[in-house]
Structure 1
Amino acid sequence: MTALTLAAAQTIAIAGDVPANIQRHLAFMQAAAEHGVQLLVFPELSLTGYEPTLAAGLAIAPQDALLAPLRDRARELRLTAVVGMPIRVAPQTGVLIGALVLGADGSLAVYTKQHLHPGEDAAFIAGQGGAALEYGDNRIALAVCADFSHASHPRQAAEAGANVYAAGVLISEGGYATDSALLQGYAAEHRLLVLMANHGGPSGGWACAGRSAIWAADGGLLAAAPGIGDVLVIARHDGGQWAGHVVVL
C-alpha cells in the first residue's frame, strides 16, 4: 500500500461567519502540512457551522471565488482538503450539503450528502454522493454524517474497492456512543480504515461531542481527540502498517 498520511480536522465553527471560518481552516491546513498530512477532512458544513436556517443565504456554487484562498493554500501546501459548505449546483436549485475536495493539484471535486437526517429536508435536498479519491493504490470513499447511518453506504464503498472511509460529521454528546460504535463496526466488517471528523464545539444548537477519531481496518482505535476543542487526529501509513497520533491546536 502506498504511503499516506491523513487527518481529521476537529474545528469549532463560528455560526454563519464564512470569512472567519476560512481563516481557521487555513490555520488547520498549515498545521496539518507541518505534520506531513496529505488529506485533511473537515466536519460537516465546517465553513458555516451546522446552521440549516442560514444555509440558503450562505450557499455558493462549488467554483465560487470565496473558496480561492483555500484552493490556493491547498495547492501551495500540496495538501488535499475536504471542506463542508452548503452549495447550489445551479442558481435556482435547492441547497445541498457539500463536501468540497480542494485538490493538492488545484483540482476541485464535489461530494454531496446523500442521506438527510429527519427534518433536514426543510433546508436541504438530498445529493448524489461523489467519486472516491485516489492516492496511489489507496481508494478513499467520502461520507457526510447521516450517510454512514445507512449500512449500505460503507458497504457499497468497500465493494467498489475503497480501503478508507472518511466522514465529516456533526455528532452530539447524546449520539456519540451509538455513532462511534457504528463507525468502528464498519471498520472491522469491511476492512476499512475509518476517519470521523466532528465539530469541536457547539453548532446549530447542538452540543457537539468532539472526540474525532480514526479506526484501523480491524476496528481498533488508532487515535481520537480527547474531547472538544481544536484538534488534528492523524493517521500515517508507512512500512506496512497504520499509526495514529493527536495534535491539540
Structure 2
Amino acid sequence: MKLIAAQIRSVAGDYEKNIAKHIKAVHTAAGHGANVVVFPELSLTGYEPKLAEALALYPTDSCLDVFQRLSDQYGMLIAVGAPTKGLEGTEISMISFQPGLARTCYSKQHLHADELPYFAPGSQPLVLNHAGSILAPAICYESLQPIHAEEAPQSGAQVYLASVAKSARGVALANSHYPMIAKRYSMAVVMANCVGAADDFVAAGGSSIWNSRGEGLCSAGADHEALIAYDMETGEVGVFSLV
C-alpha cells in the first residue's frame, strides 16, 4: 500500500479554491500510485478557529461529493480536513472517502486549550480499513497525547494518520514523538502538515513518514507544497512537488 501525505497551503475560509487545490493534489497522487492520501488539519478551510463556526458543514454536504467520485475513480482512500457541525458545537474533523463506501467522519477527541472556545470535542474513535490495512486517524494536538496513540494498536492499526497544523515548535515536538510511538506500537506514522499563515502562527510544513521501526523515511520542506510518499510493500519513498 502506498501512503501519501499532501502538504498544501490552504486559502483561509475559501472552500472553492481549497477544493480545487485538493483535486489537483489527488490527481497528482494518483499519478504516483497512491492508495491513501491524507491532507492537513482543517485543510478545506485552513486552520482558522475564529472562522470555523461560520464555515462548518455536515460531512454529507454536496460540495464534498467530488472526493467520492475521485475515490471511486482511483480506488483511493482520501482524507480531508474540515470543521463540521456536531451535536455539541463545531468539531475539527477528518472526512474520509473510500471507493464504493459511505464517507466517514472522525472528529478530534482531545482539544488543545486554545481550541476550547471555538470547538467541541468528538467522542467516537474510528479506524479505517483500506487495501488490506487498518489506519487510525489522529488530528494534530491529540496525536501527541500518549493515550490517543495507545488506543490505535488495540484496534489493530498498522498506520497512524496524523493530520496536523503545526508551527516550527510543533513540528519539532512531532519529530521526537512520532518515531517513538511508531516503534513502540509497530505502526507506520504519516504526518500531513500545512504551510503558510494559519490563525496566529505560520505552519512549518515538514510533513513526514516513519516506518513501523520508527525510522524517518522522507520529509517535505518547511515552506512549499509537496506530496511525500511511502510504499509499505516495497519500501520505496519519494517527495514530489505540487506546482
Q: Tell me the TM-score normalised to structure 2 length.
A: 0.95
Q: Which residue of 1 aligns with 2:16?
A: 19
Does residue 87 of structure 1 match 2:84? yes
Kindly indicate whether the alpha-carbon contact (under 8 Å) linking 1:111 and 1:128 is maintained by their aligned counterparts in 2.
no
- Contiguous gaps of at least 5 residues in structure 1: none
Q: Any conservation in 1 of the 2:8–2:195 contact (CA below 8 Å)?
A: yes
Deviation at 1:83, TM superposition (A): 0.3
The CA deviation at 1:136 is 4.4
Mapped to 2, the partners of 1:222 and 1:79 lie a distance apart of 22
Q: Which residue of 2 aligns with 1:248?
A: 241
Q: Report runs of 4+ in structure 1 exceeding 3 Å deviation.
A: none
Larger displacement relative to structure 2 (154-163 or 12-21)? 154-163
Deviations 1:23-46 (A, max 9, x none): 000000000000110110000000
Q: Does the 8 Å CA contact 2:138/2:160 hold for their aligned counterparts?
A: yes
* 1:162 shift after superposition: 0.8
Q: In the alignment, is the contact (CA less than 8 A) between 1:222 and 1:243 conserved in 2? A: no
Whole-Å Cα distance in 2 between the matches of residues 188 and 226 of structure 1?
Answer: 24
Superposed CA deviations along residues 53-87 of structure 1, whole A, max 9, x for unmatched, are 11011100110111122222222222221000000
Are the aligned partners of 2:191 and 2:209 in contact in 1 as well (CA < 8 Å)?
A: yes
For the 8 Å contact 2:195–2:202, the answer to whether it is kept is: no
SS of residue paired to 2:19: helix
1:65 equivalent among 62, 67, 83:
62
Q: What residue number does 1:33 align with? A: 30
**How far did 1:202 drift?**
1.9
Which residue in 2 is equivalent to 1:8? 5
Q: Percent identity?
A: 33
Task: Name stretches of at least 5 consecutive residues in structure 2 with no aligned partner.
Answer: none
CA distance in 2, matches of 1:41, 1:136: 15
Partners in 2 of 1:24 and 1:7 — Cα distance?
15
Root-mean-square deviation (CA, aligned residues, Å) is: 1.4
2:127–2:155 contact (8 Å) kept in structure 1 = no
> 1: distance between equivalents of 2:39 and 2:124?
16
Are the structure 2 counterparts of residues 6 and 199 from structure 1 closer, same or farther at C-alpha, using a change threshold of 3 Å?
A: same
- Count of aligned positions: 242
Q: Give SS of 2:116's match.
A: helix
Match of 1:115 among 103, 106, 110: 110
- Cα distance in 1 between the residues matched to 2:232 and 2:102: 24
Structure 1 residue identity aligned to 2:173: T
CA contact (8 A) 1:29 1:74 kept: no
Distance 1:204 1:232 in 2: 23
CA distance in 2, matches of 1:77, 1:135: 13
Is 2:176 aligned against 1:181? yes
Alignment partner of 1:146 is 2:122: no
* 1:205 aligned residue (192, 196, 200): 200
Q: Rate the CA distance shift 1:128–1:242 in 2: closer, same or farther, 3 A.
A: farther
Deviations 1:125-178 (A, max 9, x none): 000244211134411111000111210111110122111101100110122212
CA distance in 1, matches of 2:128, 2:21: 24
Counterpart amino acid of 2:73?
A: E
Q: Which residue of 2 aligns with 1:161?
A: 156
Deviation at 1:237, TM superposition (A): 2.1
In structure 1, how many angstroms separate the alpha carbons of the residues matched to 2:235 and 2:124? 27
Paired residues of 2:161 and 2:190 also in contact (CA < 8 A): yes
Question: Following the alignment from structure 1 to structure 2, what is the Cα–Cα distance between the partners of residues 244 and 157?
Answer: 24
The separation in 2 between residues aligned to 1:62 and 1:151, in whole angstroms, is 28
**Local SS of the residue matching 1:207:** strand
Give the CA deviation at 1:106: 4.7
Q: In structure 2, how many angstroms separate the alpha carbons of the residues matched to 1:161 and 1:78? A: 22
